[in-house]
Chains A and B, each alone.
Chain A
Amino acid sequence: MSIVGKSEIRVDAFDKATGRTKYYEDRMPAGALYARIKHSEIAHGFVKSVDTSEAEKIKGVVKVLTCFDAPEIDFPTAGHPWSMDPGHQDVADRRLLNTHVRYYGDDVAVVIAEDEVSAVQGVRAIKVEYEALPFVLDVQKAMEDGAPQLHEGYPNNILKHTSVRKGDYAAAIREPGLKKVEGWYDTPTVQHCHIENHGCFAYEENGRITVVSSTQIPHIVCRVVGQALGRPWADVQVIKPYIGGGFGNKQDALYEPLCAWCSTQVGGRPVRIDCSREETFVSNRVRHAIRFHIVSWIRPDGSMAARKVDLYSNQGAYASHGHSIVAKAMGSFPQLYPCDNMECDAYTVYTNIPAAGAMRGYGMPQASFANDSNIEECAHAVGMDPVEYRNRYIMPLGFEDGFSKNVNYYDSHRECLEKGKELIGYDEKIREFAKDTGDIRRGIGCASFWYNTAVWPIALETSSNRMLLNLDGTVTMQCGETEIGQGADTAFAQMAAEAIGLKSYKDVRVVSCQDTDTTPTGLGAYASRQTYVAGFSIRQTAEILRNKIFAYAEKLTRQSVGNMDVRDGNVVRKNDVKVLISLSELAMTAQYNPADSEHITAESTFTIKNNAYSFGCTFAEVEVDIPMCKVTVKNIVNVHDCGNLINPALAEAQVHGGMSMAIGYGLSEQLLFDQKTGRPLNNNLLDYKLSTVMDHPDLEAAFVENPEPTSVFGTKALGEPPACSGAPAIRNAIYNATGVALHKLPMNPHNLFAAFTEAGLIHDSWQEG
């Protein structure tokens, strides 16, 4: 029993290494029409008229549809499980095309044409007359009285405000001898930048609509397409092929509803929408820019007497995942560095920038930056080593969260910090770097993060699974949890092989392509839940399959069911492991038995009613060129306690990718908007500054493997956590190197210049003039 825990080669590696893997565009039906979108060229206003006459004259243009043609149905887009409680349903504020445009890039009209060139020419030929309205890009300005209002029913643009109150903050800050450590921490708008842009195609067949999409959440998209078109959900079939990354952007219904509607408007002919990179940056989803205000009141020993945290989350123009992101960010504060007296307030606010949705880490890269920056300042305020400060005040062993009921079963934080310290050589380096003076200075820093694995109890956690015993003794497995590049299919194959008793993970054929007509319902790739939640349904379904195998084997072998097991693909007698019959022979006999034929299959659903903490930290070593305002990361180590590793090599690779994302978040990435027009300024891969292989040192991933008690295979979150603590670790290393506490991401030369100038580290003779 050792299939789980081995660094097996991915089940899809060969096809991907040979280029034969099919993504949505590789499955395009011949003759699919091209739909291209006319996007708003103002940040806020009403469309008064759309002149389509010139576009319609272009040869190849089949149809032009405008915001005045689209059904007046408001629908939600977030990739959340549907809630039967109307009070917990996602905000329905989207339409297929909009007369009230709310950001530069909003969808106004669509041209359907026989070829791409005609479609693009058609879009250019459309003339839109707008009534421009004032717009607002800044989250706090949008909350002011008199600010431009984006949606009815949300005064001051506040989509939602929630609070945490613990103890008595006002009384606690009156304790004598407290130090106040206060700061504003600003995080930028960034984008997922999966290398495959989102795209999809749709057609009608037998009176129903089929959508093939680059999505993480086929079953949820099926529901949203039904809602958007005002048709029964069962009228829609969504197929998810392999996808070229998602990172949360594709955990939303993006252009699937519009594409499906376009097909219905041209008699059910296949219609494709393929986002360009420029559209992906602006007209899909982005990560919420969250601004934090933290006031910590600490005693001379560093302990936290009281803490106040305000969080302002820039939602952009539409609700998408809405408040759930900043709510998760806020929820981490009372847990990661517990404090008896807290006042936290989180606001999610509409503004006229692109809609923010899910992105790897779901609020935690932002929270980790703010929290671990402030904690670093707390350590400095009392003259304590920052790692020692964390060791003293971070979540204790045995901590239980009142809401999720998650328990800190092991001392994960301290174990990870200890391991990280050793791996990077913290003690020696912090001593050595302290000697640095002059223009180039080295520094070392760390940051921790808090994470939850799944979404229970905030939302439903369900996983369904189907297993079919094949004639060769292998098993075909279907589930709704999706492969998006992270290696889910391989982990599932390993877990299923182990649970059934097969010889190898290669004996499990995971059907990677989800089809909502045939795949049992699961909700797809989001949170860091798939390996955790699928584990429950895999074990349960494997048990059902095994029992059916035993029942049939009893007829053939005359051995008692209670004395059977499956090992290495054979039904064996327990204890002495004597082979009674191979699964292959059993399957053949059962299938072709003229008197008693049976295809041995199993299917079940598991409702998961628990969740699991997943913790870790990053240590970063930097070199700062002060006059050049340039930071080079020299070494970086992530340490994670994600429970047992199902596939160590894949786990390590997953951490590398998250670390890369965190380095980009820390040093270079941000989506910029023209303050005068709201127009995006750098929505392309050249100007956006995604990290290349030259922007990284070697990435080191390490693990503390404490088996998670609530988990079937002892595993828990790893998908998102690696993206969380990298940026604040780099920030704290810069602080260590220069003595300058930065409060804004990204820490690029532009922002460092301002901070270093203010700190008196550099003197700009032009400004001093």
Chain B
Amino acid sequence: MAQYKLIHCTINGKEVEKMVDVRASLTDLLRNDFHLTSVKKGCEVGECGACNVLIDGEAFNSCIYLAAWADGKHIRTLESLTGPGGEISDIQQAFMEETAIQCGFCTPGFIMTAVEILETKKLYTRDELRKLLSGHLCRCTGYENILNAVEKTMKRRLGVPVE
């Protein structure tokens, strides 16, 4: 019954080729076939944002994105932010320093949306950042420190003074 399709895509900078079950989600593909376990499952219907990844630079809930649609796309997960020597990016460092992490389950999704925001190189207001981050649910932090981490990293990258 299951149908399979061969897809070619780039995952975290590496070109891959994979037979995928056409019913499988991108979450399944990334977790099960590539062991990219930073991609978390909190609802599997696009409500919580824990499975968020970047597809051609744009944030998507991978749980409601079919693996088959990944053909020809550039996909980035949180794992891509860690360098070969284990060095981490400024946004990860900011999440650590701003105490923006508690249970850690929503963290990968939040950071990848933060990457999307930061890559626009725009200076957003705090209220605009709230809107941009509102696709993610977190029950631990009250979002306060997550917002601080994203705002501070944005300002540092743009050379804007951080209070």
Contact = CB atoms under 8 A, between A and B. Distances in A.
Interface in A8-24: 9-10, 12-23
A747 B157 CA distance: 41
A12 B145 contact: no
Contacts of B142: 656-661, 696, 699
Interface in B93-122: 93, 95-97, 99, 101-108, 111
A61 to B, nearest CB: 14
Nearest to B146: A693
Given A18-B81, A693-B133, A196 B42 contact: yes
B101 A17 contact: yes
Contact of A10 (B81, B93, B101, B139): B101
Interface in A218-259: 242-245, 247
A245 B111 contact: no
Interface stretch (A91-99, A159-167, A645-653): A645-653
23 contacts: A16-B104, A17-B93, A17-B111, A19-B78, A19-B108, A20-B37, A117-B23, A194-B105, A195-B42, A242-B103, A244-B103, A245-B139, A245-B140, A485-B103, A485-B105, A653-B99, A653-B140, A656-B144, A660-B141, A661-B142, A684-B43, A685-B43, A699-B144
Contacts of B136: 692-693
B143 A693 contact: yes
A193 B111 CA distance: 20
Interface in A666-705: 684-686, 690, 692-694, 696, 698-699
> How large, as a class, is the contact surface on chain A?
35 or more
B28 to A, nearest CB: 9
Contact of B79 (A18, A25, A192): A18
Interface centre among B104, B106, B111, B131 (most CB of A within 10 A): B104
Contacts of B156: none
Given A19-B108, A196-B105, A277-B45, A650 B99 contact: yes
Contact of B99 (A652, A659, A696): A652
Interface residues of B, number: 50
Contacts of A657: 102, 139-142
Given A10-B101, A244-B105, A653 B96 contact: no
B79 A693 contact: no
Contacts of B95: 13, 17
A486 interface: yes
Interface centre among B40, B50, B79, B143 (most CB of A within 10 A): B143
A22 B108 CA distance: 13
A309 B23 CA distance: 56
B99 A649 contact: yes
B152 interface: no
A721 interface: no
A699 B140 CA distance: 13
Given A18-B88, A652-B99, A685 B137 contact: yes
A19 B38 contact: yes
B103 A243 contact: yes
Interface of A: 7, 9-10, 12-23, 25-26, 117, 192-197, 242-245, 247, 276-277, 484-487, 649-650, 652-653, 656-661, 684-686, 690, 692-694, 696, 698-699
Given A22-B37, A245-B103, 10 more contacts: A10-B99, A10-B101, A17-B101, A277-B45, A485-B105, A653-B141, A656-B142, A660-B143, A690-B137, A696-B144
A397 to B, nearest CB: 31
Interface of B: 23, 36-38, 40-45, 47-48, 50, 77-79, 81-82, 88, 92-93, 95-97, 99, 101-108, 111, 130-131, 133-134, 136-147
Contacts of A661: 139, 142
Given A195-B48, A195-B138, A18 B104 contact: no
B96 A17 contact: yes
B134 to A, nearest CB: 5
Contacts of A694: 130-131, 134
Listed from nearest, the 10 A-B pairs whose CB atoms lie closest are: A19-B38, A485-B103, A244-B105, A16-B104, A660-B142, A656-B142, A19-B78, A685-B47, A693-B143, A13-B96
Interface centre among A277, A484, A650 (most CB of B within 10 A): A277
Contacts of A685: 42-43, 47-48, 137
Nearest to A649: B99
Contacts of B97: 9
Contacts of B96: 9-10, 13-14, 17
B47 A686 contact: yes
B48 A26 contact: no
B115 to A, nearest CB: 13
